[in-house]
Chain A
């Protein structure tokens, strides 16, 4: 049973979420404004947050940024805009994943499960020496990667890219975040680099390559979530 904080200003949607999520045994706290959300997060930290980007008082992106200053709690944003830019801004500001309105409950559930799993691992060891995701093993101390125990030969850059995604497993990493972390501070818009390197990585990882998900126009994500729909778009 997980404790979830749901932030949305639409009472009808809140009612549905309450019914659906409680039916699965989760404990729910619902708030309707960004300020209330921040207060709740400080008072009784939940296991995960579902945050609507269009709040009446604060911008959802700002809420993300503020929460990230002191909390690692997984945040899934609900974007009603269909606006890639705001979605990307929220992910850049620290959100882990996103669901585009309108969404099916199964999809939200799947995202929540993945977020809770990754959140638990992050809490368990904030700075691990190695990351294990499905058949993939990334040894961050010795800079080696193996799939089902078989060592995969990677270039330095390919390793850096994979290591970054592994360290943030479960989170949708935007092009900007990856380029800044792996290529350096001078980069940020060269998403074509990423296309080339992720393609090579997928080939080298073989069966484990499917865990490297592309979110078109947004970024990449390393996850073993089996029912994760790439791109996550309900269109």
Chain B
């Protein structure tokens, strides 16, 4: 049996002290009582036990005994013990030392155990802590923490992916052949990978621990070299269980989030379908009703009435055309193929074009003289205005105003109507009180925008307008006009008058509006799924010019 360095040191200290103390006492041993010498010789034994443990203590006791008996108990020079009194002293010496050695050793052991437990507890704490925080890098954190705690050369975490076991995180250089053999042995059946802790041997042999929760295998954790002692192995096993739970929990959460997103997307789709169905059928109903009336056999309609019916049918056909265009826009926003091309644009031109598209309805247009050029996509903003005005006209055919005024960051465009039924309707649809803003469609799964979509009319048009305004980094706000209609407004960034206006031309910023994640998408959950026509708000700032 190899003697540990600590034992050897203890023995050396004890023997050296016995020799030194004995040498010091020999010249005066005639004047010393037998008991005094014994007392002095306790010192090396205690020192030996403290330094070297029990084995060193026993050697020290033997050395001290021999030295005491031979050198300090008359007759000197022999092991013989003369008087009965001296026997007693020797006996007391031995008993005391054996007890001291035993007590000191026990204490030592207890202290060592406490230290080890504390260290283990601290390591376990560190390990668990790595699992508490929800992090997208959970696997990497597990691996890093194990590597640090067990001072491993390499650590690899393998999880099943599409039926196969794959390494999802590793720390240190994992020898490829090791990994291959691990993946090979486990195969797809994790249940076979029972905890496998090889005996201490080659430093290259990894310990492989199965991560298991409630009998269900979750993955494999390989650590090389395998932990050297039983405590470390237990610690690793404990940690593996915790890691398994954490990984399972993360998976469940991810599944829950995914389910929620799907649900939200599905809801949006349902609303879209209802809205489309309603919006498309409404003009169709008028077209079909007028034409069927005109075709009625024996109908005796006066010529002006016939013309009126035909005019209505044509007007509704145009509306249907706009709806189809809107629908295509929805599809393009959804598919991510709609690009916002911002450029210096004149507000009056946009408004004029929108009015022309609508067939010049009786709308009051009021554009302030000091309105600067805006940084906007001409076509999209024209769409927005057409949709807003079309919507407003449905509620108050005679009192719609379009206004543009200078705002601090650019130009505020507003569509105001005074329809009596409108305020209540809008409130119901926006689902809030006066002055509430339509949520600018953050790509939060479309749920936040559903009030705008609602059962109401022009639902599709409003939603499109909302998405396009959001694509310009602005937001569409609804203000209740004290019970007499509503005001829908949004702000566009202005082009600095003194700047080089032409700079905007030709460098059209091809910011993509997309349901998928893109630049400027906030850290909102669900930003990475297509959620209907509600695009994320993409700031198209002056820097894109």
Residues of A contacting B457 in the complex (Cβ-Cβ under 8 angstroms):
9-10, 56
**What are the 7 A-B residue pairs with the smallest beta carbon separation, nearest first?**
A104-B292, A102-B288, A101-B285, A20-B293, A102-B284, A12-B286, A102-B285
Give A234 to B293 CA distance when docked, in angstroms: 15
Indicate with 1 or 0, residue by residue over B295-324, a CB within 8 angstroms of chain A CB atoms.
010011100010011001001100000000
Contact B281 A57 (CB under 8 A): no
CB-based contact A19/B281 at 8 Å: no
Complex contact A33–B293 (CB within 8 A)? no
Give A18-31 as 1s and 0s: 1 = Cβ < 8 Å from B's Cβ atoms: 01100100000000
The answer to whether A56 touches B425, judged by C-beta atoms less than 8 angstroms apart, is yes
Most chain A CB atoms below 10 A, which of B285, B309, B425: B285
Does B278 lie within 8 Å of A105, measured CB to CB? no
- Whether B484 is near chain A, meaning CB under 8 Å from some CB there, is no
B283 at the interface (CB under 8 A from A): yes
Helix, strand, loop or mixed for chain B's interface? helix
**Given contact pairs A102-B287, A105-B292, A23 touches B278 in the complex (Cβ within 8 A):** no
Q: Which residues of B contact A32 (CB under 8 A)?
A: 421
Tally of A-B Cβ pairs under 8 angstroms: 91
List 13 other contacts, CB 8 Å, given A10-B286, A13-B282, A81-B277.
Answer: A9-B457, A13-B289, A19-B301, A19-B305, A23-B305, A32-B421, A54-B278, A56-B424, A56-B428, A57-B425, A102-B288, A103-B292, A104-B292
Contact A104 B277 (CB under 8 A): no
Residues of A within 8 A of B293 (CB): 16, 19-20, 23, 105
B285 with A56: CB separation less than 8 A: no
Residues of A within 8 A of B286 (CB): 10, 12-13, 16
Which residues of chain A are near B308, meaning CB under 8 Å? 15, 19
Cβ-defined contact, B278 with A81, below 8 A: yes
Contact present for A80 and B288 (CB under 8 Å) = no
Among the listed A12, A23, A56, A104, which residue makes an inter-chain contact with B312, where contact means beta carbons less than 8 Å apart?
Answer: A12
Q: Is B116 an interface residue (CB 8 A)?
A: no
A10 to B279, CA, bound (A): 11
Q: Mark out the residues of chain B between 404 and 455 whose CB falls within 8 Å of any chain A CB in the assembled complex.
A: 421, 424-425, 428, 455
Residues of A within 8 A of B316 (CB): 12
Q: Which residues of B contact A78 (CB under 8 A)?
A: 285
| Residues of chain A in range 190-218 having any CB-CB distance to chain B below 8 Å | none
Complex-state Cα separation, A78 to B284, whole angstroms: 13
Within 8 Å CB of B300, what residues of A?
Answer: 23
B285 and A10 within 8 A (CB): yes
Instruction: Determine the residue in chain B with the shortest Cβ distance to A78.
Output: B285
> Which chain B residue has the least Cβ–Cβ distance from A56?
B425
B397 within 8 Å of A (CB atoms): yes
| Distance of B400 from chain A, by nearest CB (Å) | 14
In the complex, what residue of chain A is closest to B308 when comparing beta carbons?
Answer: A19
B421–A101 CB distance below 8 A: no
Is B394 in the interface zone, CB < 8 Å from A?
Answer: yes
Q: How far is the CA of A21 from the CA of B464 in the complex (A)?
A: 36
B274 CB–A CB distance under 8 Å? yes
Q: Is the CB of A20 within 8 A of B289?
A: yes
A41-65 CB contact bits vs B (8 Å, 1 = yes)? 0000000000000101100000000
**Most central of A80, A82, A102 by chain B CB within 10 Å:** A102
User: Is the beta-carbon distance between B425 and A19 smaller than 8 angstroms?
Assistant: no
Cβ contacts under 8 Å, A19 to chain B: 293, 301, 305, 308-309
- What are 12 A-B interface contacts by the 8 Å CB criterion? A11-B397, A12-B286, A15-B312, A16-B289, A19-B293, A33-B421, A54-B278, A80-B282, A101-B284, A103-B292, A104-B289, A106-B292
Query: A54 — which chain B residues lie within 8 A by C-beta?
Result: 278, 455
| Chain B CB within 8 A of A17 CB | yes
Residues of A within 8 A of B424 (CB): 56-57
Min Cβ gap A126→B in Å is 34
Determine if B285 and A13 form an interchain contact, defined as CB atoms under 8 angstroms apart.
yes
Q: A12 contacts B283, CB within 8 Å?
A: yes
Which residue of chain A has the shortest Cβ distance to B289 in the bound complex? A16
CB distance from B23 to the nearest CB of A (A): 110
**Complex Cα spacing A136 to B289, Å:** 34
1/0 per residue, CB under 8 A from A, across B451-484: the answer is 0000111000000000000000000000000000
Q: Report the minimum CB–CB distance from B486 to chain A (whole Å).
A: 13
Confirm or deny: B290 has a beta carbon within 8 angstroms of a beta carbon on chain A.
yes
Docked complex Cα distance between A16 and B315 (Å)? 13
From A101, which residue of chain B is reached at the shortest CB distance?
B285
> What residues on A are CB-neighbors of B305 within 8 Å?
19, 23
Q: Are A103 and B278 in contact (CB under 8 A)?
A: no
Interface mask (B371-409 → A, CB under 8 Å = 1, otherwise 0): 000000000000000000000001001000000000000
Which residues on B sit within 8 Å (CB–CB) of A20? 289, 293, 296
Contact B281 A103 (CB under 8 A): no
Nearest CB to that of B278 among chain A residues?
Answer: A80
Chain B's closest residue to A36 (CB) is B421
Complex alpha-carbon distance, A17 and B290, angstroms:
8
- In angstroms, Cα B315 to Cα A83, docked, is 26
Q: Which residues of B contact A10 (CB under 8 A)?
A: 282, 285-286, 457
Question: Are B421 and A57 closer than 8 Å at their CB atoms?
Answer: yes
**Which parts of A60-119 form the interface with B (CB within 8 Å)?**
78, 80-83, 101-106, 108
Give the CA-CA distance A16 to B285 in the complex, in Å. Answer: 10
CB pair B285–A105 under 8 Å, yes or no, is: no
* Cβ-defined contact, B301 with A16, below 8 A: no
CA of A103 to CA of B309 in the docked complex: distance in angstroms? 15
Q: Give the distance to chain A from B323, nearest Cβ to Cβ, in Å.
A: 13
Pick from A9, A19, A32, A80 the residue with the most CB of B within 10 Å. Answer: A19
Measured between beta carbons, the chain B residues less than 8 angstroms from A106 are 292, 296
Which residues in B have their C-beta under 8 angstroms from that of A104?
288-289, 292
Looking at the assembled complex, report how far the CB atom of A10 sits from the nearest CB atom of chain B, in whole angstroms: 5
Chain B residues with CB below 8 A from A105, complex form: 289, 292-293, 296
Check B277 against A80 for contact (C-beta < 8 Å). Answer: yes
Closest chain A residue to B287, Cβ basis:
A102
Chain A's closest residue to B313 (CB) is A16
Q: Shortest CB–CB separation between residue A87 and chain B, in angstroms?
A: 13
Q: Name B239-297 residues within 8 Å CB distance of A.
A: 274, 277-278, 281-290, 292-293, 296
Of A11, A56, A103, which contacts B288 at CB under 8 A?
A103
User: Which residues in window 149-208 of A have CB below 8 A to B?
Assistant: none
CA of A93 to CA of B287, assembled, Å: 30
How many angstroms from the CA of A10 to the CA of B278 in the assembled complex? 12
Is A56 a contact partner of B284 (Cβ separation < 8 A)? no
Nearest residue (CB) in A for B394 is A11
* Complex Cα spacing A12 to B277, Å: 18
Kindly supply a per-residue 1/0 record for chain A positions 127-159, scoring 1 wherever the CB is within 8 Å of any chain B CB and 0 otherwise: 000000000000000000000000000000000
**Please, what's the 1-or-0 string for B16-56, where 1 marks a CB less than 8 Å from any CB in chain A?**
00000000000000000000000000000000000000000
Which B residue sits closest to A19, measured CB to CB? B305
Contact B312 A102 (CB under 8 A): no
Question: B292: nearest residue on chain A (CB-CB)?
Answer: A104
CB-defined contacts of B456 to chain A, threshold 8 Å: 56
